[in-house]
Chain A
Amino acid sequence: MATNLRPLHRACLLLLLLLLAAVPEARAQGFANLGQAAEGYAMPAPGPFAFPKDHGPHPGFRIEWWYVTANLEGADGTPYGIQWTLFRTALKPGADLGPGWSSAEGWMGHAALTTPERHFVAERRGRGGTGQAGVSLEKGFDAWIDEWRMQGPDIDHVRLNAEGPDFGYDLQLAAEGPLVAQGDGGYSVKSASGQASRYYSQPFYRVTGTLALPDGAVEVTGQAWLDREWSSQLLDATQEGWDWISLHFDSGAKLMGFVLREGSGGFTSATWIAPDGTPTPYPDGALRMTPLDRHAVQGRTVPVEWRVELPARDLDVTIAALNRDAWMATSVPYWEGPVTIEGSEGGRGYLEMTGYD
């Protein structure tokens, strides 16, 4: 069974921002508050998804996100990467959230644009109930915070835009494959103690659009990957961090995998997605990730080159960061950026690393 810690890391980011930052002693427990009781919140349960309703928000749950990464290329062959993320968190159980401006529902957006030389980051925060941020299914699909938006007639056909003080992007995303349920039909169990989430992905977006860079606009094309997840239960306190990958191979297959670093050991998980969208989850130990080269960024040293092996699929590749300085200098910082793939398969993808303090 695939456990999906990357989303949990995201949950951690969100909570750190909106909750833990307010409670300094929580830091002493590392990421401990992820384990806090979920009383009053809805609990994920196995079962089929109800689309399109499940594309929208699930106010009963504590945390939820819409997470897009894209590997892009300019007409001159220059590779680029973008990230667009919308987090939702309920500071009180759904029943007590409150209407309108009284809402205790927090939203947060992260946007990034990575070129081989530069890395741009922006962050937005807002409150549910004011109209500043939200996700609506009234007219197709519409997810937004401020002027950042992911919107279209349905979730497979959306326009994605975001802007910071010195960058921006405006992209058209069109899915060329099905939605992929992660874990056990979209019920993703996280640990032996039963923590779980609902989780699906859309890894088959074809992308065209424009990047706004300080030097001018750049037309781009490429591939994008959407992750959707919601949960109320969080992880134990013992993790040091995560190393997560989403890879698009030239063969049309995809791989989602991660290592949860814990003490001297680690816990791995992976999902192989066939070109037709059929997922195959792999349990702990099937995926091997080995750091090859490290890089100092913002006072931290992070591995920016990895050997990735999935023997069950005869996969043995090296992934390397397009821009080693892809540091997300957001409220809680982490590293996230595009990678290139060489070895038994070629291609490109995204790498996220947390907990390198």
Chain B
Amino acid sequence: MRRAALVALLSHWRRRPFQLLTLLLGLATATALWSGVQAINAEARASYDRAAGALGATPRPSLARADGTPMDEALFAALRRAGWLVTPLVEGRVETAGGSLRILGVDPFTLPGGDLPEGAAGDALDPAFLGLPGRLIVSPETAARIGGPELPPLIEVEGVAPGIAYADIPAAQALLGLDGQLSRFVLLDGQPGNRPPLDEVAPGLSLQQPQTGADMARLTDSFHLNLTAFGLLSFAVGLFIVRGTIGLAFEQRRPMFRTLRALGLPAATLLWLLLAELLVFALIAGAAGIALGYLVASALIPDVAATLRGLYGASVEGTLSIRPVWWLTGLGIAVLGTALAALSSLWQVARLPLLAPAQPRAWARASEAGLVWQGLAALGLAALSGLTIWLGSGLIAAFVMLGALLIAAALALPLVLYGALWIGARLAKRPLAQWFWADTRQQLPGLSLALMALLLALAANIGVGTMVSSFRLPFTGWLDQRLASELYVTADNPEQAERLTGWLAPRVQAILPIMNTDARIAGLPGEIYGVADDPTYRDNWPLIDRLPDVWDRVAAGDGVLINEQLARRTDTWSGGTIALPGWPGAPVVGVYSDYGNPLGQVLMGLDALRDRFPEVEALRFGLRLPRGEVAGLTRALTQDFGLSAENIVDQAALKAFSIQVFERTFTVSRALNVLTLAVAGFAILTSLLTLSAMRLPQLAPVWALGVTRRGLARLELVRALVLAGLTMLCALPVGLLLAWVLLAVINVAAFGWKLPLFLFPSDWVVLGALSLAAAGLAALWPALSIARIPPARLLQVFAHER
């Protein structure tokens, strides 16, 4: 019996292979998008840990200049001979044809062997590694990415952190243009008990606590949460397809269930069989989805890696490694998703009245009753969403709010469409039009899941598109303000700085020293800048909150400016105070926007900085000069003065780089968006296809009354377009709400800055056209099959009339 029942149940799929394909595809897509995003996140996080552990599993404190500038290599022997056990590092980045590479110059003689990645310690004492040209030790993935004649030969070692190359000190110095200089000293374990204080041995150096992987993880958390949210959204959209297909399959098999039950199959056995069937599907589709997810992740990770490198300086390789836990969670989420999607159908089967009619109309009527509940649920979720934004705070709350909002909108959609169609029917005068509206309304339950998916996809598209565009406008404006100096130059050392300012004085309108030092502010890595009192800042600096005479106070050393991120994180605004190293109660006199900076930043007058951080040297300068003289001065700086080209940054180049970083940030969002929209279009297609087979009994009488098959097909197309258009109209406010949440809530929580909302109606028109095209395309095939349906089959409907 059980075997016969199973064969009967499975025969449904054999007769409807397309439905089976839809189910598997939907489930696979949902799993793919979700696990793809998870793979990207896991890869990035693993990279942070490896990068933080680039020198030893336990990060060690180091000695460096407060402003991070390099120092004379002779300091090394001075420290060691005084009993300070340190190992020197030369750090920096080189740009290769294959992207950026972090160079870590180490001294294999003093670096504890265990501090290098396993397998690299041996290579580091190979005579070929030592001296010039030396060798670079990199991971095989990095080796595949970089390369070029300008680099020393590569040694590939598994387990080396991505994007990092270990080199001997002189090789690193040569690569980074730091001849005779070192970046910092790592303090080793087992220091002798008796040694002179640091400022006697190496004045100007200070002890700095190590950066840990956790720091990087905190900085990039928001980025990953964003990705996760997108993955979840795609998963939800995919589940709509699954839910729709399972619902249809169960509905279509209702007579079969009834027959099986009538033949004596216990309800429990039927349920178990259905569960087993679903489990097998879930596992097959899950496996396919994971493979697909791997492809998605591989396609996206180079952009993600580039973003993380550009935005946060994080070391992430643009390749993916497969982790077993990722496979398992992928399968788990597929099974869980299937269970979720099948829950209500299984519930119905469990309570199936043996003699219930199995008609589409009956189904539709049952759905009408369900609509009330759906509406109530939508209202409840909307209320929850409102409450969360009112009472909650932080990124998680923002996403909970977003999730509730989107689900509420999706649940409310059939209700709104129902109302719209009802109004349409009331306005219709001619019988055919009345039939059209009524028939559309009857199809609504079958299509509503696909339309919900479309709504979510469109809303996400509008929301993210609005956010990206809203971002670009103020960001470019802000860049114009912030990068007011025409040219930025950096000297290698104080002597050169002095010569440089002397040389520049007659050649430019103003020389603005920029001094900065790294510091822990409010418990996280941050930076402190000293700026000159100059109209450049007074006129241009983008202050969003200020006390009167703000620039006078800063110049007098009576207060500091902080960036928006820091202000929001510590909830400190003008009039408050902030604790800085060496200045516990610094008065905050203004707050400025600082887009794109993951770090908290403090700005103070030059004198104030010099007083509190005497070791910081003025090596960087902003230069004011007429725009037209920039090229000439740049040439003179390199040729006449002898400043190396990498020490000169043109404002235009800086702007271009900044904008490029932000474009990259949104590439990933946009890619996920397009995928979501495609999934929604596919959902509509499958729904229409499955519905069209069931609709013959509705179409046949209309055909018999004289409407041609072509006419019916045209109506099918129009119906799809009307529904898609209505959905688009509903998606617009939802998308704008989403954009507002992204800009005003999530952005603030994630990145620490708030952006004004700008509307771009032309984008909506394009999107609307796209969604109509998607719906039209999806309806084309079902419409064509109606146009070509043999009249005999339509006649059969009357013969088989039940």
- Residues of A near any B CB (own CB < 8 A): 18-19, 21-24, 91-92, 98, 100-104, 106-107, 122, 124-127, 130-132, 144, 146-147, 163-166, 168, 212
Contacts and interface: CB of A to CB of B under 8 A. Distances in A.
- What 7 pairs across the A-B complex have the smallest Cβ distances? A131-B77, A102-B131, A22-B122, A147-B83, A163-B192, A127-B109, A98-B131
Given A130-B73, A163-B83, A91 B125 contact: yes
Contacts of A125: 109-110
A98 B131 CA distance: 7
B76 to A, nearest CB: 6
A127 B108 CA distance: 9
A107 B130 CA distance: 15
A255 to B, nearest CB: 35
A180 to B, nearest CB: 31
A132 B130 contact: no
B361 interface: no
Nearest to B108: A127
12 contacts: A18-B125, A21-B121, A22-B121, A24-B122, A98-B131, A100-B170, A101-B173, A124-B85, A132-B80, A132-B110, A168-B192, A212-B193
B110 to A, nearest CB: 6
B176 to A, nearest CB: 14
A132 B192 contact: no
Interface of B: 73-74, 76-77, 80-83, 85, 107, 109-110, 113, 121-127, 130-132, 168-170, 173, 190-195
A89 to B, nearest CB: 11
A23 B170 contact: no
B191 A165 contact: yes
Given A91-B125, A132-B110, A126 B80 contact: yes
A22 B270 CA distance: 66
B282 to A, nearest CB: 47
Contacts of A126: 80, 109-110
Given A18-B125, A103-B131, A125-B110, A146 B170 contact: no
B184 to A, nearest CB: 16
A164 B193 CA distance: 7
Contacts of B168: 102
Contacts of B80: 126, 132, 146-147
B76 A147 contact: no
Contacts of A91: 125, 127, 130
B523 to A, nearest CB: 31
Contacts of B193: 163, 165-166, 168, 212
A12 to B, nearest CB: 16
B680 to A, nearest CB: 57
A15 to B, nearest CB: 11
B189 to A, nearest CB: 9
A106 B127 CA distance: 11
A112 to B, nearest CB: 14
Contacts of A131: 74, 76-77, 81
Contacts of A23: 122
B196 to A, nearest CB: 10
Contacts of B127: 91-92, 104
A256 B432 CA distance: 119
B125 A22 contact: yes
A147 B122 contact: no
A146 B192 CA distance: 11
A163 B194 contact: yes
Contacts of A166: 193
Nearest to A18: B125
Contacts of A164: 190, 192
Given A22-B126, A100-B170, 7 more contacts: A98-B131, A101-B73, A101-B173, A104-B131, A131-B74, A132-B80, A166-B193
A127 B191 contact: no
A284 B77 CA distance: 45
Nearest to A127: B109
B560 to A, nearest CB: 41
A18 B77 CA distance: 20
Contacts of B126: 22
Contacts of A101: 73, 107, 169-170, 173
B214 to A, nearest CB: 28
Contacts of A21: 113, 121-122, 125
Contacts of B121: 21-22
Contact of A132 (B76, B124, B131, B194): B76
Contacts of A18: 125
A103 B85 CA distance: 20
B223 to A, nearest CB: 39
A97 to B, nearest CB: 8
Contacts of B192: 122, 147, 163-165, 168
A127 B125 CA distance: 11
Residue with the highest number of chain A CB atoms closer than 10 Å, among B74, B82, B193: B193
A21 B190 CA distance: 22
B171 to A, nearest CB: 9
B132 A98 contact: yes
A107 B195 CA distance: 22
Residue with the highest number of chain B CB atoms closer than 10 Å, among A101, A125, A144, A212: A101
Contacts of B194: 163, 168, 212
A125 B188 CA distance: 12
Contact of B190 (A92, A122, A132, A147): A122
A147 B84 CA distance: 8
A19 B80 CA distance: 23
B73 A146 contact: no
B372 to A, nearest CB: 74
A149 to B, nearest CB: 8
B122 A102 contact: no
A200 to B, nearest CB: 28
A147 B195 contact: yes
B193 to A, nearest CB: 6
Nearest to B105: A101
B90 to A, nearest CB: 10
A122 B194 CA distance: 14
Contacts of B170: 98, 100-102
A147 to B, nearest CB: 4
Contacts of A147: 80-83, 192, 195
A283 B587 CA distance: 85
Residue with the highest number of chain A CB atoms closer than 10 Å, among B122, B192, B194: B192
B190 A127 contact: no
Contacts of B130: 91-92, 98, 102-104
A23 B122 CA distance: 7
Contacts of B83: 146-147, 163
Nearest to A164: B192
A131 B170 CA distance: 15
B704 to A, nearest CB: 87
Contacts of B123: 22
A191 to B, nearest CB: 26
A12 B83 CA distance: 28
Contacts of A103: 130-131
Contacts of A146: 80-81, 83, 85
A122 B193 CA distance: 12
Nearest to B124: A22
A18 B130 CA distance: 13
B126 to A, nearest CB: 6
Given A98-B130, A168-B192, A168-B193, A132 B77 contact: yes
Contacts of B77: 130-132
A102 B85 CA distance: 21
A127 B107 contact: yes
A65 B193 CA distance: 27
Nearest to A100: B170
A107 B125 CA distance: 13
A122 B85 CA distance: 12
Nearest to B193: A165
A333 to B, nearest CB: 15
Nearest to B107: A127
A69 B80 CA distance: 24
Residue with the highest number of chain B CB atoms closer than 10 Å, among A144, A146, A212: A146
